[in-house]
Structure 1
Amino acid sequence: MLCMRGVVLPEREEREFWIDGQVLRAGRPPGGRAGREAETIVDGGWLLPGLVDVHTHPGALEPGTPFDEELLRRQLGEHRNAGVLAVRTPGTAQRMPAWVEKDPDLPHVVSAGRWLATPGRFFPGAGRDVSEAELVRAAVEEARASSGWCKVIGDWRLDEPAVPLPLLTAVAEAVHAVGGKVAVHCQTAEGARHAVLAGVDSLEHGMHLDPALLDRMAAQGTAFVPTLSAFGANADAMRAREPSVRRDLWLAGWDAMPGTVRAAHEAGVSVLAGTDSFPCGTVGGEMDWLVRAGIPAEVALGAASWTARSWLGLPGLVDGAPADLVAYTTDPTLDPGALGRPSRIVLRGRVVR
């Protein structure tokens, strides 16, 4: 019988837990169970619900390359080894294999099926290419075949038109009618505007998002996943390019993103942590970018843990929850680098580290 105690975030209360199979139990374990001696695996420090990456694409090194199930297993393992015990995959080259959620050694996966791309709006053949006339039906099909999500490529080139607002609105209404949710890739002002006005559930990237839309996002519950670390990794290379319309639009969008992310938090929008990059298991770096954008450290940590779990319908560290937790010797809100140094990782009631 495994036991642990420590300061639980975000409550900042010292608590004790024990593990009953794959379930977390609050308090001290009941005594008198023959043959089940208690083993304390965490005694002090800081306890978090498992970390979450809400925008990751394991299974292929880049869009357009073949989907590889062995690579999928390895990359999900990279997430797990970093304490990322739940992920959302907003678009992959093929639907998530059934064995993924059955494997006790891998994180919980919330999938959105295949990327849905209308002509000219994605890498050809990287996801599910559909015409605009087919998009609504395809979105419902992917939502039903996945974890309830679908992912639409809402725009592509910075100087080309986005998916029309009436069409994206029809997608959101149809998917919501069957109990699903819609994620939208958007990196142009028009694409972001259409996604918000259509009432989708999450904006992925959101470059060039108009701050005037933030109050509406908050009111209707549209989350913002800015993937700052992915953009930040490319910023220097983009600045080194010869000036062009696309380069200058990209840089203008990137330069505005930290302020937009901070304003989104202040407006009450759920800002969540997603990496959209490799290697997997680097959501701590995204938390660091969120802090640099001006989001309080504890809020940024929640974006990669308890807030993201709640948004995905997963509980935190409460009695009866799945036994998924990560322990640290120092407070990660004061030492963001601590996220890269977990002292203990427990997934589905089993000690991973």
Structure 2
Amino acid sequence: MGTVVRVRGIVLPEREERTFWIDGDRLRTSPVPGAETVVDGGWLLPGLVDAHTHPGSAKPGDPFDHDLLRADLGLHRDAGVLLVRTPGTAGRMPRWVDEEPDLPRVRSAGRWLATPGRFFAGWGRNVDEADLVAAAVEEASASSGWCKVIGDWAAGEPAVPVGVLSAVVEAVHAVGGRVAVHCQTADGCRNAVEAGVDSLEHGMNLDVGLVERMAAQGTALVPTLGAFLDFVGPTSSDFLRQGVEGMLATIPVAREAGVEVLAGTDSRPCGTVVGEVQALIRAGLTAEAAVGAASWRARAWLGVPGLVDGGPADLVAYDRDPTAEPGVLAFPRRVVLRGKVVR
């Protein structure tokens, strides 16, 4: 047994004061005499989550860079983001990511899967629609179980047919994987929902009439709203401006219907999920729902326990309640990753 440390604080979302002893990379509730106290008071959150981030590539078209990947994950960690989902990268996630004790836990989706004309030229893995099912199974099997399909691209151009996406979902689910789909057009969103995908990435121009079905079948929405709000401006196209306006209106309706709305940045620099929390609040989510979208709700959706006995020792401590003052998320007092104090 290594050195055991102790943390105490008000745990969110339960709002109960609890004490944990950290043994290795696990939280324990059984007292250990003589443990060093590293957090005593304040508010404790399960490690923050960025559910849509692409560490390792500086801009579209750039190759996958392992040194940049390490630096990007370090930025996430220092901001208290201790679990990330990477729905698509320019290359497959290296094995060393899962072995690095000082880097966030990663759930990856292999390379982007794009059919002709539906992605940045030369980026990701380009396949014909006829080969998409087999490629999706390969990428899901070579990653953390996720695959990512570019379901549509430019406005006015056809989306991947619902029959093709349905076959992808069936095949990937059969091997225990999950399917994320990039969609920004109304047809792309509709096809993805009707195919039963696990997550809509962006969901711009999503028909609000589909949210009940999304909730019933467990399709999450990862809008990456902040990235669009930063990008849209007076000279933006009608498609973009109307799409962002639609997102602002649809997000709270989707959450109210029971859709899991999650925080993802899809932008650089890494480690800025607090900005997405603020964007979700701007869209009409309560502060607690928005913070949960970047912490305990996202972790549960990814199958990772929160602050419970036997759960991973990944937590962030704050001086004030982040659900009352979301801005405090940018100022963690203490960050503990895999049982190690990293800040």
Under a length normalisation based on structure 1, what TM-score does the superposition of the two structures give?
A: 0.95
The corresponding residue for 2:58 is 61
Contact 1:327–1:342, Cα closer than 8 Å, also in 2: yes
Residues 1:86 and 2:76 aligned together: no
Contact 2:57–2:69, Cα closer than 8 Å, also in 1: yes
1:28 CA drift (Å): 2.9
Which residue, out of 164, 181, 187, partners 1:190?
187
Structure 2 Cα separation of the partners of residues 259 and 266 of structure 1: 12
RMSD, matched Cα: 0.8
Residues 1:9 and 2:12 aligned together: yes
Contact 2:224–2:264, Cα closer than 8 Å, also in 1: yes
Q: Structure 2: which 5+ runs fail to align?
A: none
The corresponding residue for 2:246 is 256
Which residue, out of 283, 292, 317, partners 1:293?
283
Structure 2 Cα separation of the partners of residues 115 and 192 of structure 1: 17
Structure 2 Cα separation of the partners of residues 18 and 61 of structure 1: 39
Deviations 1:69-111 (A, max 9, x none): 0000000000000000000000000000000010001000000
1:159 CA drift (Å): 1.5
Opposite residue 19 of structure 1, the aligned amino acid is: I
1:45 CA drift (Å): 0.4
Contact 2:232–2:240, Cα closer than 8 Å, also in 1: no
Which residue, out of 227, 233, 250, partners 1:230?
227
Structure 2 Cα separation of the partners of residues 86 and 63 of structure 1: 23
Structure 2 Cα separation of the partners of residues 62 and 38 of structure 1: 45
Which residue, out of 312, 316, 334, partners 2:324?
334
Opposite residue 124 of structure 1, the aligned amino acid is: A
Structure 2 Cα separation of the partners of residues 183 and 107 of structure 1: 21
Contact 1:16–1:27, Cα closer than 8 Å, also in 2: no
Within 5 Å, give how 1:1-353 maps onto structure 2. Answer: 1-29=4-32, 31=33, 37-236=34-233, 239-241=234-236, 247-353=237-343
Contact 2:49–2:263, Cα closer than 8 Å, also in 1: yes
Contact 1:15–1:27, Cα closer than 8 Å, also in 2: no
Contact 1:56–1:87, Cα closer than 8 Å, also in 2: yes
Deviations 1:138-158 (A, max 9, x none): 000001110010000000001
Structure 2 Cα separation of the partners of residues 283 and 158 of structure 1: 28
Deviations 1:186-207 (A, max 9, x none): 0000000000000000000000
1:66 CA drift (Å): 1.3
Contact 1:158–1:250, Cα closer than 8 Å, also in 2: no
Opposite residue 275 of structure 1, the aligned amino acid is: T
Structure 2 Cα separation of the partners of residues 289 and 27 of structure 1: 39
1:27 CA drift (Å): 4.8
Contact 2:42–2:317, Cα closer than 8 Å, also in 1: yes
Structure 1 Cα separation of the partners of residues 59 and 127 of structure 2: 20
Contact 1:78–1:281, Cα closer than 8 Å, also in 2: yes
Structure 2 Cα separation of the partners of residues 91 and 160 of structure 1: 22
1:240 CA drift (Å): 2.4
Under a length normalisation based on structure 2, what TM-score does the superposition of the two structures give?
A: 0.98
Structure 1 Cα separation of the partners of residues 298 and 250 of structure 2: 19
1:63 CA drift (Å): 2.0
In the TM superposition, structure 1's runs of 4+ consecutive aligned residues that sit over 4 Å from their partners are none
Structure 2 SS opposite 1:213: helix
Structure 1 SS opposite 2:232: helix
Q: Structure 1: which 5+ runs fail to align?
A: 32-36, 242-246
Structure 2 SS opposite 1:6: strand
